């Protein structure tokens, strides 16, 4: 059957290919080898396209303009009865697999090789088609090899998520030294202390298992830092606040530390530039990762350059209290209450 698309001028074909969304583009590649080659020829790299590899679902998700457009998964995860259309098993797309379309917008990879990780084939095909790197990668103990494989193919990863579980020291060290700009660690065991200075990145978030030390606090360079467990004391936090007021950690926007001590007066003792809070209202702050922080017990710090930060303790009923330093404006460009 002739497709009118092929009779259009090349400039029109190029415009069409770059106007459609990723799920429509994948549909187009499945029509024939010719349409696949046309997509490969005319598709231009777009910052609106993002690729995420989800470990617990074993799928590759493709996002367009921040919204999930489609996902590609392994056929072992889903029943064949849900298939809307089953494409013939031909090697048309640069790899020995076939894709089947689900009504939910999910593409299914028929994978019959138990000796290889089929998700790597999905990653390879998807990143090649869209000329895009993996932006978000979820890994666990069973699929730790995906981290090294992805890092061997691209310069950095925007977000790296480590699922909870039991890991060796070498594996945790490998994650900490990864190319991820934003590193998020779920709770893991056994406890791990990283010696020396932590690598600079935008965000570092960790649940239980990673022991954050006073040396980490004074030498870290992050925009967003959130750690569930630490050996940091009130005295250490007092020293850090003086360091920040003197211009240290200039990139920092949010510091959240789980602490055993929670005396705000002790933490801020002897610090100049403290502005007491006289507003009975709670104060809301949004971090760059979308977490909403609500302050009740708080004070304010003003640096010599005019930058203001809220300093407070957030109390929790069942988990450790959190010391928070939040530098204004927040991620939604809100100003603190004393500025208003």
Determine contact, residues 160/175, Cβ cutoff 8 Å. Answer: yes
How many CA atoms within 13 Å lie on the side-chain side of 326? 29
Mean pLDDT check: name the lowest of 60-69, 87-96, 270-279: 87-96
Give the span between the Cα atoms of 282 and 332, in whole angstroms: 17
Question: What pLDDT shows up at residue 79?
Answer: 43
* pLDDT of 31 over the 70 cut: yes
Question: What pLDDT shows up at residue 184?
Answer: 97
The token pair at 71 is 């996902």
Tens-place pLDDT, residues 41-78: 888 888 889 999 987 778 899 999 999 888 888 765 44
Give the span between the Cα atoms of 46 and 104, in whole angstroms: 24
Buried/exposed 275-305: b ≥16 CB within 10 Å, e otherwise? eebeeeeebebbbebeeebebeebbbbeeee
Residue 296 lies in a domain: yes
Question: What pLDDT shows up at residue 136?
Answer: 97
* pLDDT of 2 over the 80 cut: no
Residue 212 lies in a domain: yes
* pLDDT of 96 over the 60 cut: no
Residue 107 lies in a domain: no
Tell me what the pLDDT averaged over the chain comes to.
86
Tens-place pLDDT, residues 289-334: 999 999 988 999 999 999 999 999 988 777 778 999 999 999 999 9
Question: What pLDDT shows up at residue 145?
Answer: 93
Q: How far, in Å, are 8, 31, 34, 71, 85 from residue 3 at the CA level?
A: 10, 10, 11, 26, 19
How many residues in total does the chain contain?
340
Higher pLDDT, 48 or 110: 48
Question: Taking every pair of C-alpha atoms in the chain, what is the biggest distance, in angstroms?
Answer: 81
Residue 103 lies in a domain: no
Question: What pLDDT shows up at residue 112?
Answer: 67
Question: What pLDDT shows up at residue 81?
Answer: 38
Q: What are the two backbone dihedrals, phi and then psi, of residue 172, each rounded to the nearest 5 degrees? A: -65, -40
Tens-place pLDDT, residues 199-221: 999 999 999 999 999 999 999 99
Residue 159 lies in a domain: no
- Name the residue among 228, 189, 233, 180 with its Cα closest to residue 205: 228
Residue 72 lies in a domain: no
Q: 50: helix, coil or strand?
A: strand
- The enclosing H or E element of 264 equals helix 264-267
Domain carrying residue 8: 4-42
Determine contact, residues 51/133, Cβ cutoff 8 Å. Answer: yes
- Going by the DSSP 8-state scheme, the letter that residue 217 receives in this structure is H
Q: pTM (2 decimals)? A: 0.86
- Name the residue among 281, 266, 267 with its Cα closest to residue 325: 267
Higher pLDDT, 122 or 112: 122
Residue 13 lies in a domain: yes
Question: What pLDDT shows up at residue 75?
Answer: 67
Q: 311: helix, coil or strand?
A: strand
The percentage of residues in the chain with a pLDDT greater than 70, rounded to a whole number, is 87
Tens-place pLDDT, residues 217-236: 999 999 999 999 888 999 99
The total domain count for the chain is 2
Residue 143 lies in a domain: no
């Amino acid at each position: 059957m002739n497709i009118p698309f092929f009779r259009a001028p090349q400039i029109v074909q190029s415009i069409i290919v770059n106007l459609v969304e990723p799920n429509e583009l994948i549909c187009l590649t499945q029509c024939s080898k010719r349409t696949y080659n046309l997509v490969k020829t005319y598709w231009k790299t777009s910052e609106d396209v993002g690729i995420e590899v989800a470990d617990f679902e074993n799928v590759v998700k493709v996002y367009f303009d921040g919204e999930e457009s489609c996902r590609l998964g392994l056929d072992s995860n889903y029943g064949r009865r849900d298939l809307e259309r089953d494409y013939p098993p031909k090697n048309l797309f640069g790899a020995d697999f076939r894709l089947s379309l689900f009504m939910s917008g999910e593409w299914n990879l028929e994978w019959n090789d138990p000796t290889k990780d089929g998700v790597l084939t999905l990653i390879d095909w998807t990143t090649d088609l869209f000329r895009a790197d993996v932006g978000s990668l979820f890994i666990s103990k069973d699929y730790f090899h995906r981290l090294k494989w992805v890092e061997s193919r691209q310069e950095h990863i925007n977000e790296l998520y480590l699922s909870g579980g039991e890991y060796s020291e070498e594996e945790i060290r490998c994650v900490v030294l990864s190319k991820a700009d934003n590193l998020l660690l779920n709770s893991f065991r056994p406890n791990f202390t990283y010696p020396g200075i932590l690598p600079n990145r935008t965000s570092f978030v960790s649940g239980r298992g990673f022991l954050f030390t006073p040396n980490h606090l004074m030498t870290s360079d992050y925009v967003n830092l959130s750690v569930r467990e630490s050996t940091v004391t009130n005295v250490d936090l007092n020293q850090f606040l003086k360091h920040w007021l003197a211009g240290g950690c200039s990139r920092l926007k949010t510091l959240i530390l789980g602490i055993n001590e929670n005396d705000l007066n002790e933490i801020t003792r002897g610090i100049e530039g403290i502005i007491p809070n006289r507003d009975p209202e709670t104060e809301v702050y949004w971090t760059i990762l979308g977490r909403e922080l609500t302050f009740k017990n708080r004070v304010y710090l003003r640096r010599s350059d005019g930058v203001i930060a809220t300093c407070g303790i957030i109390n929790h009923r069942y988990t450790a209290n959190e010391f928070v330093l939040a530098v204004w404006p927040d991620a939604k460009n809100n100003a603190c209450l004393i500025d208003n």
